Structure 1
Amino acid sequence: MSAIAWTAVGSLVAWLWLLLGQGFFWRTDVRLPARRELPTWPSVCVVVPARDEAAVLPVSLPSLLAQDYPGPAEVFLVDDGSTDGTGELARRLADRHGGLPLTVGSPGEPPAGWTGKLWAVRHGIGLARARGPEYLLLTDADIAHAPDSLRRLVAAADTGGFDVVSQMARLRVESLWERLVVPAFVYFFAQLYPFRRIGRKGSRTAAAAGGCVLLRTEAAERARIPDAIRQAVIDDVALARAVKGGGGHIWLGLAERVDSVRPYPRLHDLWRMVSRSAYAQLRHNPVLLLGTVAGLVLVYLVPPAAVVLGPVTGSAAATLAGGLAWLVMTGTYLPMLRYYRQPVWLAPLLPFTAFLYLLMTVDSAVQHYRGRGAAWKGRTYTRPDAVADES
């Protein structure tokens, strides 16, 4: 067989393994259980780090204040050096909508060795500690919660014995670029961190979705959250690893009633979202970068290339293997498209989206070596080992 045929066969083998051996990552049925009632409801403090979030806060914050939670609950919004009046807007929204009590705090600029978000989270947890909550809900300022969201999260954690219950918020999908990129973002995340493995005791796979993380306070103290992960750019995965490494039991699944209201209408917006942390995900390691690029090419780009080049080179084997690999790829993507209520014709376009992600990952590395890596909202973070340990 020709080289292109052997490469296509390798891609098909990779897809058969992903289909059956990667924790059934492509299934979208890992969800919170049906709503349950508890005899007594534990106390919860909601911590919301917010930096320049005035555009989304009128939608997201009222949904938190309106939580239908039977136990003691309070919201702490931490204004992380905003310049758009985020803190004052939060106070006005609380006065207008009522609901759960709201405290607005401001920690000042983060010291060296801390990301801004985690410094804000630390301040929020410090404010909440005076209330002695049994659980902390860490949620981003762009996340809108259905009225029973907190009740369902706590019930799942309490009845399941979980130290972390996290939901991957349903991201906005309205523009053409959002339709192409957003479902694939969650699909790729699940491929890296299969949800079923995360929830399995004894499994080393650990991840969370930073937009919605219910954390048992005792587990947070045991894992020294957030101090132990203060330099982490990908803080949700770092939090999950810290809790699981300390013997905690974690759960991650797709959300049904938790939504991100932040728009990413242009490719540029989505590009920044991915590229700011892609190289950090690879631990700023050039070898891992090369391996990732090679893997993306083999798994996602070889199948359509083989379908096109097979007839040109007269290799029926390349055409058949590439076509089968592309078919398996398309089939595994369909459940995520259905979850996002998107048309099925987007599924065969996954290789194109994967190519975009390949370019975003390379760009992330380029920006890192230019000193502009992990830049977000006016801050640029160095790689962790470039900062002196303050512990």
Structure 2
Amino acid sequence: MNPPTPATAPTSEATTPLPPETAPEQTARRAPVRDRYFDLLRALALFRVVLYHLTGWAWLPLVFPSMGVMFALAGNLMARSLKRPALQVIRSRIRRLLPPLWLLGVVGVTGMVIQGWGPDADGHPGWWWIHLAYWAVPLSDPPYGEGLPGLHGFIGENWASDLAGPLWYIRAYLWYVLLSPFLLKALRAMPLATLLAPLALSAAFELGYLNLPGERIPSALTDFSTFGACWILGMAHQEGILRRLPRYVVPSVAPVFALVGLWYALHHDFGEGNDLDSMPLAQALWSFGTVLLLLHLSPSWSEWPRRLRRWDRLITLLNSRAVTIYLWHNTCILIAATMWDQLWGIDLMWMHFSWLLESPWPVLAFTWVLIGSCIVWFGWAEDLAAKRRPQLWPDGSTKRTGGRRAKGAKRH
């Protein structure tokens, strides 16, 4: 499954008197520079997640392991942030993560309750109220109403399962944030052992050497063992550990991990309905090898290459609203598919355009229109969480326009 991390707030600088003419220039130099290569990877990851959840094509996670990429980018950002006091960084990360989740919970849980979901849904009213707290702090999977009816012609049945589907990522991300100070210390002390520990844990689960009772703890540990190595890889990149390796090491080692993961998948009935998402060990190895190569190739763009400049606004928007897009995309897919299926009731359509009704591409386009509406309706929660002025469509155009106006005023 497959969804994102908010950008890190700039660290505050000590203020010293500066001449008016030089203050903006020094401020610009001190501000952290966005790595546009990482922005591109995050945007590609989000698009691939939406396409995969719509089509279910098993080969998509092989082409681009989105979840491994997003966890690696988040780990890189977390390691950079941990130059500040750890408690301050953790509090900031959690603050940025939770408000978009709360907004989803308000809408989703309200809809579930209206349709009859409540304390007696699972026969344990007391536990229902306690577990409901996971919608506030997702240390484990929050409960949701399974099997709820949809709204005819608008959203399909069992919609709550689709709405809650992406929440495993939020849970895993929260635990990675909480563990990051310890992971960073371990990485500095024992780089190789720390990088490989999650893969070893994944193998122990897969081969039956480690079995734990219950569902919540094994689920959390499975997520950590599957993508923990990618998170730590991101930290290692930020710490410069990968750069200190001889240039031939990563291109020699990374394909081995990826190919072992692919071999394991192909020997365990890999295909539609049984892809990498169903094979944690294969997912862990393939994602680790691919992410290792992507970080090794990292060109660290402070500005876009000429051929990519046309995509600046779109990529900026996707990065600015990564959490909103990930949280709402499953619901948007379900609504788009449900509404598109209504066209089968029109004789002209099914008689002459059945090929179009069966195509996933119109549904994909409609899904992104709905995602765009979610950005407008719900994306402001990310701005409030980051203590920014709320924007409806943060594609960077306002900032660039302001910059051009400022330059023009200075020339005149």
Q: Considering the TM-score relative to the shorter chain, is it more than 0.5?
A: no
With structure 1 as the length reference, what TM-score do the two structures score?
A: 0.24
Q: Which has the higher contact order (CA 8 A, sep 6+)?
A: 2
Structure with the higher helix share, 1 or 2: 2
Q: What TM-score, normalized by structure 2, do the two folds share?
A: 0.23
Choose between structure 1 and 2: higher strand proportion: 1
